[in-house]
Each structure stands twice: as structure tokens, then as C-alpha cells.
Structure 1
Amino acid sequence: MRKRERENPCGICGHYHRYEEGEPCGVCGHRPPVLAPAGVPRQDSAFPSEILKDLLFLGSYDNASRSELLKTLGISHILNTVPFCQNLYRNSFTYHCLEDGKTLQFDDAIQFLEQCERDKTRVLVHCMSGKSRSAAFVIAFLMKSRGWRLAQCYQWVKERRPQVQLADAAQLQLIEYEQKLFGSNILLSLHLDLVFQNQQVTSRCPPSISILQPPSLSVSAPTTSQVISHLELKKFPK
């Protein structure tokens, strides 16, 4: 790398890569966010999304890379769900880094988040984009700590961070985790399918709603024919 390029590290991750040209960082994987099509408002933000007041924030690696902003928000703990994202400020924040793998380690993450809640500290949960992997851990935490069902947790998070888009694998693991916590319920599983398919959340929880109350669902209850079709077309884990 030429000397001039070595003198201009990336302003986000602090490493040397051609950020302006879209080149991903060879050290931590940081890359510029994908631009939205013309006419579509951009949903990325320098600010993480507050999921639970004064406790839980959800965001991207870009968010986790802005130390002064995080300090301004009072965030002191960071749950890094993607190991190849470097923990940039170990002297300033308390990190907990999950192992990479196809199986999401919900219990490990939840233990860390529960400790943050007991200590009354603010915590950021992040992956690279803050849309799927980190969102799945936040949803799992809500199910376990608040006793809400999966569809309700998904809708709560989606309303506060509209760019959330769970990958198929994350959806399936969350369904399995819901069944582990609450037992099997085919009606709610189908209800969840309808919520995932309806990507645009049409309702909003009242501003005064308590975080101890589950949000109401915006998708109508499944009909008998939908349940039958669901049983024929999709096999859920036992």
C-alpha cells in the first residue's frame, strides 16, 4: 500500500482500506452501507436503535465504531455477535463476544444481557448491519426476560428498527427457541409466519405502553384454512 493511503485510515474502523471505493476492510470486514434505490429513504443511521428504554440498544458495526456517540448515549457494554468484527475500544467499554457459527448462542447472550439489566447498565447489541443476527439475539432476550411470544417480540423490535430483516436460518432458530420456552403452538407459529411475510408493520404500540406489557399484534388471527395449508406446506421442529 502506498504511503499516502497509509496516512488516511478509515474513519469508521480505523484500518486501512479503500472505504470510498466500497472495498471491505481486510482486518474487521467493515464496508460502506449499501445505498437504497432512488426514491427509497435510507434507513441506516449513525445512532443505534433503542429497544428497551435506558437498557437495550440494537445497531450495526458502524454504530459500535463510534465511541464518542456511544458514551453520549450512556452505553458502557457491548455484545458483539460477529467475532470478525473487531472490538475497537476495549479500554472504554465492556465487551462480550459470541462465537461464530450457524447455531445462534441465545443462552450465552441472554446471560450477558440479564447481567447488564441487573447492573442497570446500557448495552449495545450489534452485528455487521444490525438487521438479522443481532436482532435475533435481541428478540430471544425479549422472549426470555419479558415472557413475550416470538411474533410480539419481532413486531416490537421491527417498530423500533424498521430495517430489521431476519434471515431464514435466524427465523427457524427463533421458532425453535420459542418452542423451548413456551411449548409448541401451531396457531402462534402460523401467526408468526404471517407477521414475517408482512414486512411493513402497520400498527404502532401506544407511546405510554409499559415494557412489561406485550405489544398487540397487527396481523389478524389465522383462519382454519390457513392452519390446514400451513400444516401441509411447512413442517415445524418437534
Structure 2
Amino acid sequence: MRKRERENPCGICGHYHKYEEGEPCGICGHRMAVVTDKSSSIQVSAFPSEILPEFLYLGSYDNASRAELLKTQGISRVLNTVPACQNLYKNSFTYHCLQDDQDLHFDDAIQFLEQCEKDRARVLVHCMSGKSRSPAIVIAYLMKSKGWKLAQSYQWVKDRRPSVDLNQGVYQKLQEYEQKIFGSLENQPASAMPVFTSPVPAFSFNYPTPTDSVQIPTFNSSGATSVFARPVFGVPPQDFTFGAAAHNQRNTSESDIAMDGS
């Protein structure tokens, strides 16, 4: 390794690798995140999202592959929700892996998370992208352990990890689990997948909001004056002559002047 490369460690993981060229770190596996959608305002972080302070973390397989960063956050246990994802650091972390990649076994995952909470151990829950499968496990845990309804649990997780994007099948599983926990929802209105928007800023530029009644200007009021109703200028019409009449009038005037002078 050249001296220049040794003097320029990675700003994320602190190790020496060509992170700007996309080379993965040989120690912790960190690599530069690639964002394909340039219009996206969601920042990709090397660290998992903290859902419950000093206890529950949510992330992707990329987050789970960075052992050194997980250790800096005090994480010692990992809940892997995707059987296809390898448990990379079995000597450093305690792993629990869900065995079914088609279904979400909430009770199995929650039992592991409750034991982590009892042991006061920080735990990372991850899937491949950290957008649907692992957030569903975390939401189910919040419903079961905190007694929160689905909408409130989803709101809590979404606020702390904006990239969460549950698919319809996963959300339906969560609705069924909510019914299992809180009982029949027959008397409650059917809830669709909630849509969350960014908070409205405190300042305003006086633009009307959708709930404001917009006053449309009235252009046909009785007080308005038409351009065709303006008074006619008091100029005698004979002062303005056009065409042949003007020419004849000019010749007559010249003849009168010549006769007066003769």
C-alpha cells in the first residue's frame, strides 16, 4: 500500500481501503453506498437506525456486514430475518435467524427481542435492504411489547428510518397480527396503509393551504367600469377629416388665401 493511501483512511470506518473507488474494506466490509436515484432526498447511512434508545436498531444487510461500526454502537446481538443472508461474524455477535423466507414468524422474532431487552443487550434487526421485512418485525415487536396499535408503531419506525417501504403483503400480515393481539376489529373502520408526509414548517409565505377557502376575485361587480363605457372626448367631429375630404378642404383654403392676396 502506498504511503498516500495509508494517510487517507476511510472517513466512515476508519480503515484503509479505496472507498472512493468502491473497494470494500477488508476488515469490516464497508463500501461506498451507491444511490441510483439522484432525486431521492433520503440519505444513505453506514449506521443502522436507532428505533429504541440504546436497545433496538434497524438496518440492512450492508449495515450488518460492518462489524466495527456495530461494535461502536454497542450492538452485540443480531436478528437476521432473511435466511439467504449469511451471519458473517459468529465469533463477535449472537445471531438469531428466521428460517422461513416466505412468511414472517412474529412470535419467534419477538421472543428473541424480549430476551435481548431482558438481558439489556443491544440488538440489530436486519433484512436485505431494511425497507420491508425487518421493519415489519420491529413494528410487530412494538405492538406486542409496547401495546401500540399498528398505525402508531408504523409511524414511530417510519420517523426514525424514512426509507421504510412496506409492501402490501407484509402490511396485511401486520394487520392480521394486530387483530391477534388486540382482538376483533370488526367494529373499527378498515385501515388502509397509512401515508405520512413531512411535517409542516412553522414559517409560512402566506400560500393558501388545501383547507383554506380561497377567495376568487370578482370581475363583474357593479362597481367595475367597462372600457366601452368611458366618456367620449368633447372634440367636434369637423376638426378631424380624413381622405379626399381633407384634400378638398385644404385646396379650398389655399384658393381663398390666393384671392385675398390678389
Shared topology, TM-score over 0.5? yes
1:34 to 1:181, Cα distance in 2 relative to 1, 3 A:
farther
Deviates more, 1:76-85 or 1:42-51: 42-51
* Larger RCO (alpha carbons 8 Å, 6+ apart): 1
**Corresponding residue for 2:107?**
107
Give me the TM-score of the superposition, normalised by structure 2: 0.62
Quote the offset at 1:103 in angstroms. 1.8
**Corresponding residue for 1:179?**
179
Gaps of 5+ in 1: 1-8, 15-19, 21-31, 204-238
Which whole-Å CA distance do the structure 2 matches of 1:79 and 1:123 have between them? Answer: 7
SS at match of 2:190: helix
Which whole-Å CA distance do the structure 2 matches of 1:99 and 1:142 have between them? Answer: 22
Quote the offset at 1:33 in angstroms. 6.2
Quote the offset at 1:35 in angstroms. 2.4
Quote the offset at 1:61 in angstroms. 0.4
Quote the offset at 1:12 in angstroms. 6.4
Q: Residue 92 of structure 1 aligns to which amino acid in structure 2? A: S
Q: Residue 142 of structure 2 aligns to which amino acid in structure 1? A: L
**Corresponding residue for 1:120?**
120
**Corresponding residue for 1:200?**
197
Quote the offset at 1:34 in angstroms. 6.3
1:52 to 1:187, Cα distance in 2 relative to 1, 3 A:
farther
Matches within 5 A, 1:66-215: 66-186=66-186, 190-191=190-191, 193=192, 195=194, 198-200=195-197, 202=199
Quote the offset at 1:74 in angstroms. 0.1
**Corresponding residue for 1:11?**
24
The answer to whether the 8 Å contact 1:136/1:166 transfers is yes
Q: Residue 11 of structure 1 aligns to which amino acid in structure 2? A: P
Give me the TM-score of the superposition, normalised by structure 1: 0.68
1:43 to 1:189, Cα distance in 2 relative to 1, 3 A:
farther
Which whole-Å CA distance do the structure 2 matches of 1:94 and 1:122 have between them? Answer: 11
**Corresponding residue for 1:53?**
53
1:52 to 1:43, Cα distance in 2 relative to 1, 3 A:
same
Question: Could you report, residue by residue, the CA deviation over 1:91-142 in whole angstroms, capped at 9, with x for unpaired residues?
Answer: 0000001012322100000000000000000000000000000000000000
SS at match of 1:47: coil
Higher gyration radius (CA): 2
Q: Residue 163 of structure 2 aligns to which amino acid in structure 1? A: Q
Which whole-Å CA distance do the structure 1 matches of 2:134 and 2:188 have between them? Answer: 23
Question: Could you report, residue by residue, the CA deviation over 1:193-237 in whole angstroms, capped at 9, with x for unpaired residues?
Answer: 151xx143548xxxxxxxxxxxxxxxxxxxxxxxxxxxxxxxxxx
Moved over 4 A (4+): 186-189
Question: Could you report, residue by residue, the CA deviation over 1:118-175 in whole angstroms, capped at 9, with x for unpaired residues?
Answer: 0000000000000000000000000000000011000000000000000111101000
